[in-house]
Amino acid sequence: MSRTAAPVFATTTASSAGSHTGRARWARVALRSVQVLLALFYGIASALPKLIAHPSAVESFDKIGWGSGAMYTIGALELAGAVALLIPLLQSVAATALSALMVGAFIVQLTAFNGQNAATPLILMVPLIVIAWARRGSGRELLGVVRRGSTGARAVGERLGYGR
C-alpha cells in the first residue's frame, strides 16, 4: 500500500463509523418509539376495556367461558406489561411476557372465535420479539440484580433515583 492510500482509508473508515453511529442512534430511537406505542396500545386499547369491564370485553370473555376473573387478570397482566415496557430494567422481560400472552390470545382467537382477528396477536408479537431480542441486555441485568438480592435492589433503587 502506498503512503497516500493509508490516509484515504483512514478517512473513509472514520466517516463510515460516524454514519454507523448515526444509524445505531436512529435504531435506538425507533425501537424506543415502538416500545412507547406498544405500551400505549396495551395500556389503553387492550387492558383498559378489560379493567373497566367494557361491554365488548365482558361479551368476549363470556363467549370464551372464562368470566370476569380471567378478564380482570388478563387486563392487569397487559397493564403491567405496558408499564414494564417503559422501564429499562424490565423491558426485555415485559416484551417476552407479552409475547407469551399473545400466543394465548392467538390460540383463543382460533378456537373460540373461529380465527376471526387471529392475525392481530401474531402481528403484535413481531415487534415484541424484536424488543425482547434487542433489549436482552436488560434481562441479563435484571437477572444480576435478582441474584445479588437486597444489595442489588438497593443499587437499582439508587439508579432510579430513590434513596438519595
pLDDT band at 55 (very low <50, low <70, confident <90, very high): very high
For position 121, what pLDDT does the model report?
97
Q: What is the pTM of this model?
A: 0.77
For position 5, what pLDDT does the model report?
46
For position 120, what pLDDT does the model report?
96
The length of the chain, given as a count of residues:
164
With residue 164 as reference, give the H or E element that holds it: none
For position 44, what pLDDT does the model report?
97
Quick one: what percent of the chain has pLDDT higher than 70? 79
pLDDT digits (tens, 9 = 90+) for 102-146: 999 999 999 999 999 999 999 999 999 999 999 999 888 888 888
Per-residue pLDDT at 21 exceeds 80: yes
Identify the residue with better confidence: 139 or 53: 53
For position 1, what pLDDT does the model report?
46
Q: Which residue has the cell 438497593?
A: 154
Q: Which residue has the cell 432510579?
A: 160
pLDDT band at 95 (very low <50, low <70, confident <90, very high): very high
Per-residue pLDDT at 16 exceeds 50: no
Pick the closest to residue 122 from 136, 138, 141, 109 (CA basis): 109
Identify the residue with better confidence: 94 or 11: 94
Q: How many CB atoms lie within 10 A of CB 57?
A: 21
